[in-house]
Structure 1
Amino acid sequence: MKDLTLDEYQYYGRQMLVPEFGKSGQVKLKNSTVAIIGAGGLGCPCGLYLGCAGVGTLKIVDFDTVDTSNLHRQIAHTEIGANKAESLAKAIKQRNANVRALPYPVPFAADNASQLLEDVDLVLDCTDSPAIRYLINDICYAKQLPLISAAALRSEGQLSILCYPGGPCYRCLFPHMPAVSQSCSDNGILGPVVGVMGVMQAAEALKFLALGPPQEVSMLIFSLFSPVPWRRIKMKGKRPDCINCGENGPDATKLATYYANVCDTYPVLDPSEEVPASQLENTDVYTIDVRDPVQYEICSLPFSKNVPLSKLEEWMETHPTVGVDSDLYVLCRRGNDSRTATQILRQKGRDRTFNVHGGLEEYSKTDPTFPTY
């Protein structure tokens, strides 16, 4: 095990003064390898703090590139279009040349996940994709790698430590994948909220590497607008019927079914059931926007009516002929929820209903004055 250099004594001196941590904890950090999956809102603060704390090797996996909408919360990035893994690795190296920050600008997928997690001591799930979250969990359990999983959405966050010896996996806590999108791009996020959860992820990683796994199974929950923002909830351990780590071992058939059904949860429409976004120009066709009221308030087409997807059935009761006797256009932000709405309406006999392909983002290409978010 490598000891500290003279420079590192000075760099990490304030950490080593903490009684629970000490020099032994710092040496353990130096000789540890941590994989950070996702270099976004969680990965940026988490990676920066772990790099500055002296974790010897950080493997950073993210194929995505930096977009303007990322900058309010992904604090390591400064260059639009840069790969996120490479950008975060660069930021870490600028702050602490004593650590190795290795970028992997590739998707984390079933065919490369095991290889990406070779020679790793701890895995941090910093993604916002349910499908990838379950994949990370399953690979960690199979390779017996401890996992710290965090998530943040809107004004809330949660964190759990999983897959350590005797501990539960993510599927024990959440057996079923959510049916609706839980990404920041679809639901929104306050920057400091995801930052807080990324920092807590880093803190728990330091504690795990220095002191070992937790003594009890729990979930840390943060809610910004709650009178009591922080709660730690004691959880049950492994589920005997868990399809991943239960008493009968991994159920390959059920796991395969999960991965077969997570690629696209939106219906596929026939081209005849869609219209191009450019057709919204100068149209007098009845148009409904199925986004929620918060998104509709941000920007909308003046001739559209806001009918949130959750209220679609009620709207149909009060508008029995629209889409039957006359054309009906359905749109949303990117043309995904509107696909679902279009399918529902057509199944109800409204055969003159058409999805606006690509939604408002596609429409903005024909009208440069229309805002996107």
Structure 2
Amino acid sequence: MEAEVARLRDELSKKEQEVERLRAVSAHLQQNSYSGNMFALVKQLTEVPPLEEKSLSKEEIMRYSRQLIIPELGVKGRLGLLDYDDVELSNLQRQVLHAEDKVGMSKALSAATTINRLNSNVECIPYHFQLNYKNAKQLIQQYDIVVDCSDNVPTRFLVNDACVLSGKPLVSASALRMEGQLTVYNYNGGPCYRCLYPKPPPAETVTNCSDGGVLGVVPGILGCIQALEVLKIASGIGSSYSQQMLIFDALEARFRTIKLRPKQPTCAVCGENPTVKELIDYERFCGSAATDQCRTLHLLTGEQRVTVQEYKQLLDQDVPHVLVDVRPQVEVDICHLPHSIYVPLAKLEEKNAEYVKLLQNNINLSRKEAAADIVTFPVYVICKQGNDSQKAVKLLQEILDNELCSLSVKDIQGGLMAWARKIDPTFPQY
């Protein structure tokens, strides 16, 4: 009951902060807004009825002169930007349209302001809401080319299906850690996303930038190539990746191209007898949320988990236990609780003998030092967000099978980031 009250208070606090933020920017949103799953749409101006024709000014001709003299390229275009999120400090490492003074502001407002500062002649139409199966088709039908830089599986399926049903090419790219990939779907008879990935992967197997990290220049490189493909398609030159995928390895500084399977006759959306004729609820279809934030897994029962408040109470009472930190070494180097022992999830998955022995030795030592009346010795597992710790609890149940009758293995909900938010505001968040 106390945990539920704490959760509701935390949600209420976040809602109050959101209300204050919206009040602060609402006056500006009438003029500018941008939205950033980093999902962008591009349409040629000549095909949009509300736009009036106009000739380039002397200054504009000078500005675009190096581009205008290329025979294949024209001079008109409309840019639509869709993002539901706000600027966070962690965005600034790679999302260069935003700056430190825009942290907490709508990404719509922040990006549109920057774009207009760079070039006041660009018509940038912002959309500050989350794309879903109810609004995607209506929006995408207004544009000629769709660019997907989203960081979650439900959005990728949603955008793909909306593009196929609307007959629009989709320039798609993704980046993680020091790798990236790019391709163009549904263009010139090429495959769509579903041709390659008919079914979504299990939610717990998907890693996004919030979970796995990304080197800032990697999405920058992929984004530049995406922009190039958009220009080539819009001008009629054509894409280089309609039936190929570009793979970028930043660590080795190498690009390679692989040939994709052709358009599949059995594809559920673009095949000969499609079963997907209208957009569906893609969060339900994929079993995960359509956001770029860290996903929340639910692999354990309530009895196998404790809140950070409950764990803090355990520390205050000096209850003997073992705390296992299962994050990668690089994250442990950033921050950790001083009384934790380091046993990375990857080593548990391998059932690495060295780390299993380290864990068992720590448990045995702590158990000996504990009071004799402790029947079931507690072991707690922690990670960054409370996802990997759940996986680790399941693995420990297998590895420590012979000792489980005298051990209680639980994970800490929300991990170290919940600890930083709710227990120790001086603890680093990353």
What's the TM-score, normalizing by structure 2? 0.71
| Aligned pairs (5 A) from 1:1-373 | 1=46, 2=53, 4-7=55-58, 8-19=60-71, 21=72, 25-27=73-75, 30=76, 55=77, 57-78=78-99, 79-179=102-202, 180-214=205-239, 217-226=243-252, 229-251=254-276, 259=285, 261-263=287-289, 266-267=297-298, 269-278=300-309, 279-280=311-312, 281=315, 284-313=320-349, 314=351, 318=357, 325-345=376-396, 350=404, 352-365=408-421, 366-373=423-430
- Tell me the distance in 1 between the aligned counterparts of 2:237 and 2:130: 30
Q: What CA RMSD, in Å, does the superposition of the two structures yield over aligned residues?
A: 2.9
Cα separation, 2, equivalents of 1:149 and 1:172? 14
By how many angstroms is 1:187 displaced?
A: 0.8
Label 1:26 to 1:90 Cα distance change in 2 as closer, same or farther (>3 A).
same
**TM, length-normalised to structure 1:** 0.81
Task: List alignment gaps of at least 5 residues for structure 2.
Answer: 1-45, 47-52, 290-294, 368-374
How high is the sequence identity, in percent, across the aligned residues?
38
More off after superposition, 299-308 vs 152-161: 299-308
Structure 1 contact 164–213 (Cα < 8 Å) conserved? no
8 Å CA contact 1:243, 1:255 repeated in 2: no
Q: C-alpha separation between the residues in 2 aligned to 1:156 and 1:320?
A: 36
Closer/same/farther in 2, CA of residues 253 and 269 from structure 1, 3 Å limit: farther
Distance, in Å, in 2 between the alignment partners of 1:123 and 1:254 is 17
Partner SS, residue 71 of structure 1: helix
Q: 1:262 to 1:363 in 2, by over 3 A?
A: closer
1:186–1:94 distance in 2 versus 1, CA, 3 Å: same
**Equivalent-residue separation in structure 1 for 2:207 and 2:195 (angstroms):** 19
**Greater CA drift, 68-77 or 308-317:** 308-317
Distance 1:147 1:260, change over 3 A: closer
Query: Could you report, residue by residue, the CA deviation over 1:176-223 in whole angstroms, capped at 9, with x for unpaired residues?
Result: 434423311111111111111111111111111002543761112211
More helix by share: 2
In 2, Cα distance between equivalents of 1:243 and 1:320: 50
Q: Is the 8 A contact 1:128 1:182 kept in 2?
A: no
The secondary structure found in structure 2 opposite 1:172 is helix
**Range with greater deviation from structure 2 (166-175 or 124-133):** 166-175
Q: What is the CA–CA distance in structure 1 between the aligned matches of 2:136 and 2:176, rounded to whole Å?
A: 25
Structure 2 CA distance for partners of 1:249 and 1:10, relative to 1, 3 Å? same
Distance 2:153 2:417 in 1: 24
Counterpart CA distance in 2 for 1:250 and 1:12 is 46
Number of aligned residue pairs: 341
Gapped regions of structure 1 (runs ≥ 5): 31-54
Of structures 1 and 2, the larger Rg is shown by 2
Cα pair distance change 1:308/1:250, threshold 3 Å? farther
Bigger mean CA offset, 160-169 vs 10-19:
10-19
Return the alpha-carbon distance in structure 2 between the equivalents of residues 176 and 157 of structure 1: 21
C-alpha spacing 1:90/1:233, structure 2 compared with 1 (3 Å): same
Q: Is the 8 A contact 2:153 2:286 kept in 1?
A: no
SS of structure 2 residue aligned to 1:75: coil
Paired letter, 2:230: A
For residue 141 of structure 1, report the CA deviation from its aligned partner: 0.9
Change (3 A) 1:287 1:252: farther
Query: Offset of 1:244 from its aligned partner?
Result: 2.6
Distance 1:288 1:253 in 2: 47
Q: Distance in 2 between matches of 1:203 and 1:128?
A: 21
Contact 1:364–1:370 under 8 Å retained in 2: yes
1:35 maps to none
How much does 1:243 deviate? 2.7
